[in-house]
């Protein structure tokens, strides 16, 4: 916080002394602005390359392909913000989807299936939270183990079979549109959840606590923050959101196989880190992640339109991830150098 | 050190309990299937596990510094595919030379990881998460999605791991040689001790003159080299280079380390433990079909074992700390 304030102060002084140029530099080295510029650039590029890109129906419908991951990215912000990580989320999806398929094969209705899916996610998240907080084990190690356990359960029981019978009503969640419009239900649900999570992160005490925990667990504990309770809640939330995402995904593809959502944990973490949340915790905001979600989602859609293979997409995502972390550090160095030069200049002027 | 205390430290060591555990496991399986503990079967298990041992040791050094290398499986895939394709298009090239090229490719991939961590200040988990995708994607790009199959490989290439020396297969020899060299490196060389120092206390290590950047380059390059060898061995052993070679293998290497008593937070662990941890996993994988458990249980069982091993690690560390505290108070 203090750092940010100082930055603001020096920023305003910059504006007084110097010109538009300095102000532009301050604005354009902000991560969210860079992402926004990239999105604009992306839209211009793809709409020039393909006539089908800038089409209302296409832009709406392509969100189906990335909304489930987007929903999982929301609580992942909380987890990474407080310095933890969860690499078991794709396996939680497998567990939830398996539970729903199991319920469906026992003639349970759509509402019951959804409740069972959510409960499965919630309890898986609680298991993670419990293991991380009560045994003081690193989150990456715990979720590495539960990654195998959660998916292992569905694999052990399903073997090479699949659940493919779901009630007709159940299809709405992942395939339906809002009323008579062309707006997918998944997109609306994501925006509502993003608004709630954004409010919690930026406008409530709980959100401030997460920043404090991410900056220093010890300092947060000494100032009276119940660190482990907050971390437990984070993992539980993560599980619940995986449950929601599993409902959407299962409903959209209408089947459950043990390898469902394989590799999604890495993709979701990529979204959050690309959105500017520091992997060591304490830094970032929901808005940046929102940008990263749409940037990557439409990048995938656009590359598909111009027939670039999925493998090129994988490479691009990996490169973006590393650049996203490299760049802020690089920008900081540039800023520090400019500051130093300016100070030298100022002190020189005083002497004169 | 008096004799009773040295006995105590031996019995308390992770390696001892792992050997005991492996003994119990072998005994239990033999009860169900008497043929399990035979020379040929044990040799088969060690042969199956040699690749895991090599890559886990590379992973071990990274974890020792508090990092993690998620890209090992992709490095195996890319170096294995490259080596297989070089062999396919240059059948005249000696297989040993192809192995060296595969190793060098792994080395370069590892150095890229190391440079991003050391000089780009990108945390290891992010770097290797990114290169995991990049290297896997590059595998698809160079192969154009095609496989290299057995009839496209030369006889000598496929014989790399199967060859025989003193009645033991080459692959096992590789596992043994790598383990011994790495054991020596970790225990008796300056650089090896510096890796432990960085993992134990980064700040203190810097004050005594350990260069963190060099350490990061060393460990990631090492992990790359070992993955490179593993990649060549993998494709030649199974006589096929597919695009998904070793996918998910990174988790097994971390699992072998954790079972071997390596702390994920860094600073503690030993090569011997990692080798035993990998062997333990190898025995479990080979034992499942013998005791009539469907292979579909493998993933669940592995996860459960890792979790239990981690709990044991954590609880024993806690107990050690408490004993230290008690000792100080007296």
Assign B112 a pLDDT band (cuts: 50, 70, 90). very high
Residue A228 reports pLDDT greater than 80: yes
Q: pLDDT tens digits for A127-159?
A: 999 999 998 888 988 998 899 899 999 988 888
Interchain contact, B251 vs A147, CB within 8 Å:
yes
Q: Name, in order, each residue with C-beta under 8 angstroms of A214's C-beta and a sequence gap of 6 or more.
A: A81, A82, A83, A278, A280, A281, A282, A283
Judge whether A12 lies within some domain: no
Q: Is residue A28 part of a domain?
A: no
pLDDT at A4 over 60: no
3-state secondary structure of A339: helix
Q: CB burial class (10 A; 0-12, 13-18, 19+) of residue B238?
A: middle
- Mean pLDDT along residues B143-151: 79
The arithmetic mean of pLDDT across residues B140-161, rounded, is 79
Per-residue model confidence (pLDDT) at position A9: 47
Of B123, B300, B311, the CB nearest to A156: B300
> Tens digit of pLDDT for each residue in A274-320?
888 988 888 888 999 999 999 989 988 888 888 887 778 888 888 88
- Tell me, what CATH number does A262's domain have? 1.10.3470
ipTM of this complex = 0.81
Task: Give the number of domains in chain A.
Answer: 1
Interface of A with B (CB under 8 A): 85, 131, 135-138, 140-142, 144-153, 155-156, 158-160, 258, 266, 269-270, 273, 279-280, 309, 311-315, 317-319, 321-322, 325-326, 329
Is A2 part of a structural domain of the chain? Answer: no
Range of the domain at A108: 37-311
**Least reliable range by pLDDT among A77-81, A247-251, B86-90:** B86-90
Work out the mean pLDDT of chain A and round it to a whole number: 85
Distance CA(B247)–CA(B72), nearest Å, equals 9
User: Mean pLDDT, to the nearest integer, of A250-264?
Assistant: 87
pLDDT of residue A305: 86
State pLDDT tens for residues A201-220: 999 999 999 999 999 888 99
Q: How far is B159 from chain A (nearest CA, A)?
A: 32
Mean pLDDT of A213-241: 92
Residue linked to tokens 């292979």 = B295
Task: Answer whether residue A317 is part of any domain.
Answer: no
**Residues in chain A within 8 Å Cβ distance of B138:** 315
Question: Any CB–CB contact under 8 A between B142 and chain A?
Answer: no
Residue at A4 is within a domain: no
DSSP code of residue B273? H
Q: Which of B234, B238, B255 is nearest to B246 (CA)?
A: B234
Does residue A328 belong to any structural domain of this protein? no
* B160-187 tens-digit pLDDT: 777 777 777 888 888 888 888 988 888 8
> What residues of B are in contact with residue A325 (Cβ under 8 Å)?
120, 122-123, 126
């Amino acid at each position: 916080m203090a750092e940010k304030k100082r930055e603001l102060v020096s920023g305003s002084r910059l504006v007084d002394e110097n010109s538009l140029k300095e102000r532009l530099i301050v604005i354009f080295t902000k991560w969210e602005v860079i992402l926004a510029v990239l999105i604009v650039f992306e839209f211009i590029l793809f709409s020039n390359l393909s006539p089908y890109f800038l089409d209302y129906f296409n832009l709406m419908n392509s969100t189906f392909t990335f909304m489930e991951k987007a929903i999982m990215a929301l609580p992942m912000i909380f987890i990474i913000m407080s310095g933890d990580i969860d690499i078991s989320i794709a396996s939680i999806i497998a567990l939830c989807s398996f539970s729903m398929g199991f319920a469906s094969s026992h003639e349970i209705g759509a509402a019951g299936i959804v409740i069972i899916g959510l409960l499965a996610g919630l309890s898986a998240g609680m298991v993670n939270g419990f293991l991380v907080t009560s045994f003081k084990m690193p989150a990456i190690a715990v979720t590495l183990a539960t990654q195998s356990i959660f998916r292992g359960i569905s694999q052990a029981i399903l073997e090479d079979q699949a659940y493919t019978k779901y009630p007709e009503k159940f299809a709405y969640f992942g395939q339906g549109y809002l009323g008579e419009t062309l707006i997918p239900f998944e997109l609306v649900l994501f925006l509502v959840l993003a608004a709630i999570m954004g409010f919690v992160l930026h406008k409530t005490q709980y959100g401030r606590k997460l920043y404090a925990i991410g900056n220093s667990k010890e300092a947060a504990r000494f100032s009276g923050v119940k660190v482990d309770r907050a971390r437990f809640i984070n993992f539980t939330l993560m599980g619940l959101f995986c449950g929601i995402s599993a409902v959407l995904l299962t409903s959209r593809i209408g089947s459950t196989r043990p390898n469902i959502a394989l590799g999604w944990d890495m993709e979701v973490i990529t979204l959050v880190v690309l959105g500017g949340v520091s992997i060591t915790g304490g830094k970032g905001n929901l808005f940046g992640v929102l940008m990263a979600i749409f940037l990557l989602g439409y990048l995938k859609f656009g590359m598909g339109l111009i027939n670039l293979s999925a493998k090129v997409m994988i490479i691009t995502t990996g490169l973006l991830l590393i650049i996203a972390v490299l760049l802020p550090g690089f920008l900081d160095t540039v800023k520090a150098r400019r500051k130093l030069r300016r100070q030298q200049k100022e002190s020189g002027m005083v002497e004169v | 050190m008096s004799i009773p205390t040295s006995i105590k430290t031996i019995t308390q060591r992770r390696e001892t309990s792992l050997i005991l555990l492996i003994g119990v496991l072998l005994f239990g399986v033999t009860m169900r299937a008497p043929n399990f503990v035979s020379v040929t079967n044990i040799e088969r298990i060690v042969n199956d596990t040699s690749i895991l041992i090599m890559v886990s040791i590379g992973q071990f050094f990274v974890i020792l510094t508090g990092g993690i290398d998620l890209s090992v499986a992709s490095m195996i895939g890319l170096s294995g595919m490259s080596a297989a394709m070089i062999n396919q298009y240059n059948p005249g090239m000696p297989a040993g030379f192809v192995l060296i090229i595969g190793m060098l490719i792994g080395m370069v991939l590892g150095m890229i990881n190391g440079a991003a961590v050391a000089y780009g200040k990108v945390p290891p988990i992010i770097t290797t998460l990114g290169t995991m995708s990049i290297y896997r994607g590059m595998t698809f790009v160079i192969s154009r999605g095609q496989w290299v199959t057995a009839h496209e490989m030369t006889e000598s290439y496929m014989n790399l791991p199967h060859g025989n020396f003193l009645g033991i297969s080459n692959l096992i020899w590789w596992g043994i040689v790598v383990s011994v060299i790495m054991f020596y490196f970790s225990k008796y060389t300056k650089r090896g001790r510096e890796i432990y120092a960085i993992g134990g206390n980064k700040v203190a290590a810097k004050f005594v003159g350990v260069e963190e950047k060099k350490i990061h380059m060393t460990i990631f390059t090492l992990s790359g080299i070992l993955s490179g060898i593993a990649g060549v061995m993998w494709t030649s052993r199974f006589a096929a280079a597919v695009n998904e070679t070793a996918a998910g293998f990174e988790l097994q290497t971390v699992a072998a380390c954790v079972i071997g008593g390596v702390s994920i937070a860094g600073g503690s662990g030993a090569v011997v433990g990692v080798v035993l941890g990998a062997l333990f996993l190898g025995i479990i994988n080979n034992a499942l079909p013998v005791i009539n458990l469907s292979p579909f249980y493998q993933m669940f069982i592995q996860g459960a074992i890792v979790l239990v091993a981690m709990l044991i690690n954590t609880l024993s560390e806690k107990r050690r700390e408490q004993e230290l505290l008690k000792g100080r108070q007296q």
